[in-house]
Structure 1
Amino acid sequence: MGTFEGQLSKLQIQVGDGGEAQYSLVLDDQPVVTLNPHVGEPIRLSYQGQIQCQHCGRATKKSYSQGFCYPCFISLAQCDRCMMAPETCHFHQGTCRDEQWAQQVCFRDHIVYLANSSGVKVGITRATQVPTRWLDQGASQALAIARTANRRLAGLLEDTLRQCLADKTNWRALLKGEAAEVDLLAVLAEVRDTLQQPLQALQDQYPDELHWLLESVWQVAYPVQQYPTKVVSHNFDKTPEVSGRLLGMKGQYLILDTGVINLRKFSAYRVAVSVGT
């Protein structure tokens, strides 16, 4: 197939006509090869010893927050703690790192959802990122349960639902096999019944900004030929060259017969990739 070289980005994932996730490797912000046809073939990824900040382009010895240099990490709004914990949003306190960016990103409709990847979890994402967010997390099922007018409110709802639900994916369980199918509608009904009072209080506080949804369950299959019995994780910082037979893709992970690697973690690393040779 040949060799490609460039700055790594997260895998591009779309849902094909048959309901299977279709993967493309992305270098220099461009998809360079569709990976699904190469499952079962050799693949080699070689880190070239260069990392360039995906925001400013500055050379950096260490990547922060999946692809940023340290100055950008401590100054950009998209790297602030509230992006990981949106209920801690401090825009209303006048201390947002970039109010214009927040208006474009945080003050847009967000979706609160249930997803089944390694078990049922609750999460949030911008409405425009459905189903991309679910694919990135390796969810085999997902259910959009509410729409909010901004990111902070989505975080407050997620924080309430965390009383009954996990908000993290067990990545090792994710990569050991298909998650058992779950009745997400039944899970939602049980959670809403259990948390009736705090959920109603949130609804009363934000009557025009929080809307519960009546959606069908979304499902997808991942192109995995074989799951590992023991999960070994590759890391470019420790082992610059990663190679093996490509067994499949799930979430942002490549599954090789020698171990797994989360490509999103190494965004902004310059790599050379050979597939099928």
Structure 2
Amino acid sequence: MFYQGVLTKMATEFSNPIQYYLVFENDFININQLLNKTITMQFVKYQCLNCGLDKPIYRQGFDKQCFFEVPQAADWIMRPELSKAHLGIEDRDLAYEKKAQLQPHIVYLANSSNVKVGVTRKNQVPTRWIDQGAHEAIEIVEVPNRYLAGITEVALKEHVADKTNWRKMLKNDIEDENLVEWRERLKDLIPDEAKDYFIQSNTETNLEFPVFKYPEKPKSLNIIKAQTYTGKLVGIKGQYLIFEDETVFNVRANEGLVVKISV
């Protein structure tokens, strides 16, 4: 049995444990059903997520030209404090930017390799936490636009990390933290513009990932360089596939690659 399609971020379902799906144009795979099975992955070609052409992927699933043109890859995506749609100022496509930026956003704390602060659209909770491999998370601020979330994150990341150590996350080298206490400690650091949006009372969300064996020394698979790889799938965490030989494959980092998967 084999499947072929262009890689995009795995779709997820919040359950116990998390359910993962690879969605292709004409098919999908419930990756959980492949656990403890040997699979072969083969690189076929590139397919830019915007233009669809077979051109080397630059970043985020786009070829270089598309990356610097499409609104989905603008600087405000990674740096929400640069959002300007609330001022009616266009970056690349004001209609798209208004739709994406002028909606409720959450500033949260998540613990994957360590406690970090992050921003996501409200409708992406808890998907964003799943993608980061967080085993626990909590919302701390809910604001009406991306800009307010961005300036809140900037203020808080002076006092708490804003990056995940992917190796530590995959090794499951983690410690439980009291995120309610973290939230209360950071409360006074929230910018004045966002203080009224502080979430006074809530509890942390716990997440369980489908992993049978965590790698001690995870090594990342470069499928373009390797061309083909065969291994026994023993876990899924964040956007990573974990194999028995401690090879790990970041699906999201390989968006825009067409692969053939044999089971």
Same fold (TM over 0.5): yes
5+ unaligned residues in a row in structure 2: which ranges? none
1:69-88 alignment, distance < 5 Å: 69-88=63-82
CA RMSD between the two structures = 1.8
Query: Which residue of 142, 147, 156 corresponds with 1:147?
Result: 142
Alignment identity in percent? 36
Counterpart for residue 228 of structure 1: 215
Q: Deviations over 1:176-228 (max 9, x none)?
A: 01622211001111222xxx2x52xx23x3577x3435222111111111111
Instruction: For 1:15 and 1:207, locate their aligned partners in 2 and report how far apart those are by CA, in whole Å.
Output: 30
Q: Deviations over 1:3-49 (max 9, x none)?
A: 11111111121122xx2111122222x6622122321110111011x
Amino acid at match of 2:178: D
Counterpart for residue 273 of structure 1: 261
Amino acid at match of 1:11: M
Counterpart for residue 59 of structure 2: 65
Q: Number of matched residues?
A: 261
Counterpart for residue 252 of structure 2: 264
Instruction: For 1:4 and 1:232, locate their aligned partners in 2 and report how far apart those are by CA, in whole Å.
Output: 25
Question: Alignment partner of 2:223: what SS?
Answer: coil
CA contact (8 A) 2:171 2:216 kept: yes
1:1-277 alignment, distance < 5 Å: 2-16=1-15, 19-28=16-25, 32-48=28-44, 50-60=45-55, 62-91=56-85, 92=87, 94-177=89-172, 179-192=174-187, 196=188, 198-199=189-190, 202-203=191-192, 205=193, 210-258=197-245, 259-275=247-263
Point out the more displaced range, 32-41 or 260-269: 32-41
**TM-score, length basis structure 1:** 0.89
Amino acid at match of 2:154: D
1:243 Cα deviation (Å)? 1.6
Instruction: For 1:53 and 1:37, locate their aligned partners in 2 and report how far apart those are by CA, in whole Å.
Output: 28
Instruction: For 1:90 and 1:242, locate their aligned partners in 2 and report how far apart those are by CA, in whole Å.
Output: 44
**TM-score, length basis structure 2:** 0.93
1:156 Cα deviation (Å)? 0.3
5+ unaligned residues in a row in structure 1: which ranges? none
